[in-house]
Chains A and B, each alone.
Chain A
Amino acid sequence: MSALAKGWRRPLRDISLLAGFLAAVSFLPADTSLAERQASGQLRYCVADQNSPLIRDPAAGGPGPELRLMQAAAGRLGVQLRLVEVANIGRSFNPADWNLTRAQCDVLGGGLADSAANRGFMTLIPTGQQIALRRSGTAEEPPPGTKVGVFAGTAGLDRVRLSGFMRSRGWQPVPLRREADLRAWIAGGAPAIFLSLTPLPEGTAHHPLAAEAGEVRDLVFGLWRGDTTFTRAFREAISQGGDAGLKQPPPLRGMN
């Protein structure tokens, strides 16, 4: 070995040791968010409506696509999934009025859209689903002055933009709070604007809204910002996909 190579041995060993030390340290937990959930043994999954097609498959009657993903993720994290229905969601334009707190929910879902506002509040992880607004009724737009039912749900789509769009068409908005209200409104023969994943009475014709009313958005799971270890573990669990590799999807613990 040359003298020059010998001379580099000690510095290289020092640098390798320090790099190894930093690599080892990087595996320390940055917070207790994952440990807390694992200690409690449950994952609280807050949704606005447990009968949403994302949660319950209306055709098969089993869990919907988002719930299946959550069940698989909970299984991989070694906790039981607890579905929490929070009726407050969507009742006010100000989400702070929904009273969704860390103490109540670990993950928010069931139709949460990837929007700038939601990104400001939570860490968002895509569910692989998308959502947009659609209009029921005839292919031709209703004339100005028509009363149009609006079921904007909880998705976090841009309601101000939708409101501006309706004003520009001269339509009178009638807020519809629940899916049952929407179905009753459509059954009455009046046009409505609703979220694309909402189950409708069979044979209901519906059409995309003009782009100015809002764009197609990804649906996401919302996790509390700052929950570093839980977010990483949840992201990894979700990235493994549906219930593949899981021997038995864990059952739901209960519903509130």
Chain B
Amino acid sequence: MTEVLAILRGIHGVWLREIMRATRDRGQLLGGVSRPLIWLMILGVGLNPYFRGEVFGEVKMVLPFNYLQFLFPAVIVLNIMYTSIQFAVSVIWDREFGFLREVLVSPMPRWAVLLGKVLGGATAATGHGTLVLILARFADVTLTAPQVFAAIGYMFALSFALTCFGVVLAGKVRSFEGFGVFSNTLILPMYFASSSVFPLDPSLTRTQLSTSYPEWLLWLIRVNPITYAVDALRGILIGFHQFPAMIGYALVAAGCAGFFAWALRSFGK
């Protein structure tokens, strides 16, 4: 029993350190606010008129939402992706400056150290996702309390999976500079190829879709797990799915378990 309490205290300590570091990093906080402002208030407002209805019966976007509402959940996922994956920088930092070595030689099991770090990263990423919810009024998304709680719960699970993925990446990349390039060539392509900024009309058949988008792009979107992560959050926030809802939840759950196991294998190598 004392052993369990000691491990829990250790996890709490590592988690608290990550939270303190995330909240004291003003650059990271500003990034968490500037991203939604740029994506929602500049890109969203700029493109909204092009998806607007002009003639009754004419189809531009056969979704019962305007472009801002459609984009809103995707911007939250983008904020979470950046914060979670960038969390790997803290792992590289700890490795570079010896903190990780000190923690790993402590009596705490390796999985508990990793869990504390990942929980800290996931909490920070969830915080960044939750900040975007404040802009719901701007996007004309009406949220109820159960929706907000469900969204925060889902965001935490997604953040956990992506933070573990960040730790896996940190195990592959040995320098800060290398990670910067790596993350930019990973986050943005995954985000854009996820039907986050343009809709795949669910009322169209596969053949009809192929006339709107080239087959290779449809393939990329369908194999991209972020597609389903965004789709599940859209289901929670605006009640709209382009794919069966369970795919998103199942992928995030599998991501949490799979990436944690993978991260544990590479952690502290």
Contacts of B52 in A (CB 8 A): 102, 224-227
Contact across chains for B53 and A225 when beta carbons are under 8 A apart: yes
A30-B64 contact, Cβ under 8 Å, with A10-B24, A102-B53: no
Contact across chains for A31 and B26 when beta carbons are under 8 A apart: no
Give B139's nearest chain A residue, CB to CB: A30
A98-B56 contact, Cβ under 8 Å, with A22-B135, A30-B45: yes
Shortest A218–chain B CB gap in Å is 14
A28-B41 contact, Cβ under 8 Å, with A14-B23, A22-B131: yes
Q: Is B49 an interface residue (CB 8 A)?
A: yes
Give B44's nearest chain A residue, CB to CB: A30
Q: How far is the CA of A15 from the CA of B161 in the complex (A)?
A: 24
Contacts of A8 in B (CB 8 A): 23
Q: How large is the interface on A (under 10, 10 to 19, 20 to 34, 35 or more residues)?
A: 35 or more
Q: How large is the interface on B (under 10, 10 to 19, 20 to 34, 35 or more residues)?
A: 35 or more
Q: Is A25 an interface residue (CB 8 A)?
A: yes
0 or 1 for each of B127-148: is its CB under 8 Å from A? (1 = yes): 1000110111111100000000
Give B132's nearest chain A residue, CB to CB: A22
Q: Is A18 an interface residue (CB 8 A)?
A: yes
Contact across chains for B66 and A225 when beta carbons are under 8 A apart: yes
Contacts of A254 in B (CB 8 A): none
Give A24's nearest chain B residue, CB to CB: B134
Contact across chains for B53 and A224 when beta carbons are under 8 A apart: yes
Shortest A16–chain B CB gap in Å is 11
CB neighbors of A among B29-81 (8 A): 29-30, 32-33, 36-37, 41, 44-45, 48-49, 51-59, 61-68
Contact across chains for B29 and A18 when beta carbons are under 8 A apart: yes
CB neighbors of B among A1-40 (8 A): 7-8, 10-12, 14-15, 18-19, 21-23, 25-28, 30-31
Interface hit among A61-69, A72-80, A114-122, A188-196: A114-122
Q: Is A108 an interface residue (CB 8 A)?
A: yes
Q: Is B20 an interface residue (CB 8 A)?
A: yes
Contact across chains for A25 and B57 when beta carbons are under 8 A apart: no
Interface hit among A89-97, A136-144, A202-210: A89-97
Contact across chains for A120 and B66 when beta carbons are under 8 A apart: no
- Other than A226-B48, A227-B52, A228-B66, give 19 A-B pairs with Cβ distance below 8 A: A11-B23, A14-B26, A15-B127, A18-B33, A22-B33, A22-B132, A22-B135, A26-B135, A30-B140, A31-B48, A98-B57, A102-B53, A108-B56, A120-B59, A123-B66, A222-B56, A225-B65, A226-B66, A228-B48
Q: What are some 19 contacts across the A-B interface (CB < 8 A)? A: A8-B23, A23-B134, A25-B135, A26-B135, A31-B48, A94-B57, A98-B56, A102-B54, A120-B203, A121-B53, A121-B58, A123-B64, A224-B53, A225-B52, A225-B61, A225-B64, A225-B66, A227-B66, A232-B140
| B→A interface (CB under 8 Å) | 20, 23-24, 26, 29-30, 32-33, 36-37, 41, 44-45, 48-49, 51-59, 61-68, 127, 131-132, 134-140, 203
